[in-house]
Amino acid sequence: MQQALDRLPTVVMGAVRRLLRPLVRLMIRHGITLPSIVELLKQVMVEVAVQDFPVEGKRTTDSRVSVLTGVHRKDVKRFREQGFQRNDVPKKVSLGMQLVNVWMTRSPWLDEQGRPRVLLRLADGSDRPDFETLANQISSDVRPRAILDELVRVGVVEERDNQVVLRTEAFVPRSSEEEKLYYFERSGHAHLMAGVRNLEGIEPPFFDRVVQYHNIPESALPRLRQMVEEQGMALLREINRAAHEANDSQASKRQTFLVGLYCYHEPSVGSDD
């Protein structure tokens, strides 16, 4: 039993190494070098030690944080004095996300089957719903034309013949690196935290499952990816509507709730299923 416990840090380091590979790929692509990451890692270790590992009834001193993390006490003091960074939602993401969510979940923006309607760009005096009215519900500070142009730019909606069509039932920008990074950060953080909390023995555990095969012919990939996109999107739509109905900003105890699906494939290096 003790041998297994002694081996755990090595196993954890092996798992961390594999998890770091895609992040290192991202960093190298964006010209982020080791000194910057060392400084960032120190900051994050101090932040997590302070926020997630307090001792009940005792003050979390710089010395204790230094012992927990291995970060020099002078650096601990500096990081705590300067405060920890917040990752705010980019304004364009926040506004677009709100608009698409209303379009996907509320009447009169849904048809009889519960699907987002094709909207008129401008009201024409009829009862047909229009994009301008929807945009004005979301923000009175930004012109509907500016919101529409941005959504068209990132590929979320399509404008044609005085109509606006929602191209995807999730706000997933295709052009802006800042916006794509925001969603990458949110989904990646949530998935990793679910796994870490499950390893810590949280009850009930978070749902976290994966289907994995190593010998899938390339010719079968389009069908499998289509299944993920169609059935996964149907499930996310259903969960989104239920979560939207339950959402209550006045509740005394509130939780941030995230659900994600992903699909990935790469050349096989093994042969076991």
Identify the band that residue 169 occupies on the pLDDT scale cut at 50, 70 and 90: low
Bond before 205 cis per omega within 30 degrees: no
pLDDT at 96 over 80: no
> Cα-flanking dihedrals φ and ψ of residue 165, to 5°?
-115, 130
Chain Cα centroid distance, residue 149 = 24
DSSP secondary structure letter of residue 54: P
Torsion of CA 133, 89, 172, 266, to 10 degrees: -170
Distance of CA 139 to CAs 98, 142, 145, 244, 249, Å? 10, 6, 12, 19, 18
| pLDDT (0 to 100) of residue 55 | 85
> Strand 157-160 relative to strand 163-166: parallel, antiparallel, unpaired?
antiparallel
Identify the band that residue 225 occupies on the pLDDT scale cut at 50, 70 and 90: very high
Domain ranges of the chain: 91-166
pLDDT digits (tens, 9 = 90+) for 120-168: 999 888 889 999 999 998 888 888 898 888 888 877 888 988 899 998 6
Least confident of 35-39, 86-90, 227-231: 86-90
| pLDDT (0 to 100) of residue 269 | 76
Average pLDDT over residues 240-266: 90
The Cα–Cα gap between 60 and 190 comes to 26
pLDDT at 206 over 70: yes
Pair 109, 134: CB distance under 8 Å: yes
Distance of CA 62 to CAs 72, 93, 226, 267, Å? 9, 37, 52, 47
DSSP secondary structure letter of residue 156: S
**pTM of structure:** 0.71
Tokens of 204: 């009930």
